[in-house]
Amino acid sequence: MATFVLVPGACHGGWCYERIDDRLRRHGHRAHALTLTGFGDHARPMSGTVNLDTHIQDVVDVLTAESLEGVVLVGHSYGGMVITGVADRVPERVDSLVYLDAFVPEDGDSVWTLTSEAEHEWYLSAGETGYAVPPLPFFDPRATAHPLASLVQRIRLTGDLGRFRRREYAYATLWDGPSPFTPTYERLREDPSWTVHPLEGRHNLMRDVPDDLLKILLDVAPPGPGH
């Protein structure tokens, strides 16, 4: 039995994994689809104090409170920033990392530094409040505003992602325009320590290609006793 912790992207909650988490459980695994501070059941008036560190700590708290070990961390989009920070803070609890069309930051990176002017224009539409970035029109109707601070805060890392058993990257090939994740995909596919999966889906891979993602996750699951 493996333990998967599933982290959503910007503006989304754990519900974005609804086509994945139940199927993982039917295969005998544990699956925790998290909703981070400021969204869904955790919604509260958004403030400038919710940042990337807040969301990293959300996940660390779940891992420690539930005594989870040997975890496969899965992050979509912005969630890649979060799972990278979690793996750096509590590496002893993490087995593998799976990035779903997501950011894979190095020390000092932020979502802002890893994106272009097109994404920056969206982030700065937080001007109405100064800190809440509205969901884009094509997002799921359940999507809510995202804290700007989490997108501009630079991540601080002290370790090497290479310490983990598996590192997987699923890349969406059907963006309408340029994908902000193409540079990451091109970098990682040349790195033999990563396994890269180009998938014929849009950015929301969990909705578009759940069968493909399930195969990837089941393959990544740590081997059981005796294997």
List per-residue pLDDT tens for the chain, 227 residues long.
Answer: 899 999 999 999 999 999 999 999 999 999 999 999 988 654 455 566 899 999 999 999 999 999 999 999 999 999 999 999 999 999 999 999 999 999 999 999 999 999 999 999 999 998 777 888 999 888 999 999 999 999 999 999 999 889 999 999 999 999 988 999 999 999 999 999 999 999 999 999 999 999 999 999 999 998 764 33
State which CATH number among 1.10.3470.10, 3.30.1490.190, 3.40.50.1820, 1.10.10.10 fits the domain covering 3-220: 3.40.50.1820
Cα separation, 161 vs 175, whole angstroms: 27
Catalytic residue among 77, 116, 125, 150: 77
Global pTM?
A: 0.95
User: Which two structure tokens, joined as six digits, stand for 110?
Assistant: 């932020």
Q: Would residue 116 show up in a list of annotated catalytic residues for this protein?
A: no
Q: By CB neighbour count within 10 A (0-12 exposed, 13-18 middle, 19+ buried), where does 219 fall?
A: exposed
Domain boundaries defined on the chain: 3-220
Q: Is 110 left (phi over 0), alpha (psi -120 to 50) or beta?
A: beta
DSSP classification of residue 148:
H
